[in-house]
């Protein structure tokens, strides 16, 4: 008899008005580690077909939107609930013709239309918990046609646990979720994905996280994000050499195709 998949406890619920307030502050930085952001965005980009109609959920300041807008023939509807974030995105994308920015609370429903690709890059983890995350995910599935894709780059409770096992061996403190995040249980997520389609790819950034968050802090307790070590850890060459995939990766990537 097979064992039941292990479940992981999420972080305590946080009132969403506090999360909204956090993201509406102009000084809030979505991602300090730009080397990591570039590696994540480049991987996601590799799974987006040319000429796709894209819905980007939680576009923030439009950093990733600007990259995806360069894919040949694509059109993008980029959503966020924060007026502050959307103004930043508008400042960055004001002359980009194939992007439409819209303010929307995606818990209340997605834009009407059909999209070939729906993107969620660290968006679901800013929702209140699994029930809310699952409801939004099901809504995402409804707006893609058969053969359409959802690409998720989201926090993984399992990946975080694997990385923290290494850190414990190195006498480092465990890395925890930020107060406004709710990382996903891979098993719960994949049950929903498999019910309505198939997982084409599951991968991650194990090389990068193991090297930069698992080992480097042993020798450099307060590392700088822009250090050459991090750039090498994120490189395609290191990915090919170590090939750890999603092991030890706090952020994992799923590419799902609708049946």
Which residues does 69 contact at the CB level (< 8 Å), separation at least 6?
76, 93, 96, 98, 99
**C-alpha dihedral, 63 to 245 to 188 to 116, nearest 10°:** 50
Which residues does 191 contact at the CB level (< 8 Å), separation at least 6?
none
Q: Where are the domains of the chain?
A: 16-157+180-204+249-258
Q: 26 φ, ψ to 5°?
A: -60, -30
When comparing pLDDT for 119 and 30, which is higher? 119
Q: Cα separations (Å) of 68 from 6, 130, 237? A: 35, 28, 23
- pLDDT band at residue 1 using 50, 70 and 90 as cut-offs: very low
- Distance separating alpha carbons of residues 183 and 250, to the nearest angstrom: 9
- Selection from 42, 122, 115, 104 nearest residue 74 by Cα: 115
- pLDDT band at residue 7 using 50, 70 and 90 as cut-offs: low
Least confident of 5-9, 21-25, 218-222, 226-230: 5-9
* Architecture of the 16-157+180-204+249-258 domain: 3-Layer(aba) Sandwich (3.40)
Rg of the chain over Cα atoms, rounded to whole angstroms, equals 18
């Amino acid at each position: 008899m097979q064992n039941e998949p292990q479940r992981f406890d999420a972080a305590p619920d946080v009132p969403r008005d506090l999360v909204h307030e956090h993201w509406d502050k102009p000084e809030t930085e979505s991602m300090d580690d730009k080397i990591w952001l570039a590696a994540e965005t480049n991987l996601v980009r590799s799974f987006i077909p040319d000429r796709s109609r894209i819905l980007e959920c939680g576009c923030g300041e439009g950093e990733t939107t600007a990259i995806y807008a360069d894919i040949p023939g694509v059109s993008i509807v980029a959503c966020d609930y924060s007026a502050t974030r959307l103004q930043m995105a508008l400042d960055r994308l004001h002359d980009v013709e194939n992007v439409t920015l819209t303010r929307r609370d995606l818990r209340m429903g997605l834009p009407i239309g059909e999209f070939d690709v729906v993107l969620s890059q660290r968006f679901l983890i800013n929702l209140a918990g699994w029930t809310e995350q699952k409801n939004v995910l099901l809504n995402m599935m409804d707006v893609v046609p058969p053969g359409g894709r959802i690409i998720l780059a989201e926090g993984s409770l399992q990946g975080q646990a694997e990385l923290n096992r290494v850190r414990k061996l190195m006498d480092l403190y465990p890395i925890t979720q930020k107060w406004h995040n709710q990382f996903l249980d891979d098993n719960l997520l994949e049950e929903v994905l498999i019910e309505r389609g198939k997982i084409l790819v599951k991968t991650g950034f194990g090389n990068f996280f193991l090297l930069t968050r698992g080992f480097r802090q042993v020798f450099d307790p307060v590392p700088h994000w822009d250090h050459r070590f991090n750039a090498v850890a994120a490189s395609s060459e290191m990915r090919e050499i170590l090939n750890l995939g999603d092991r030890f990766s706090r952020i994992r990537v799923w590419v799902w195709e609708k049946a």
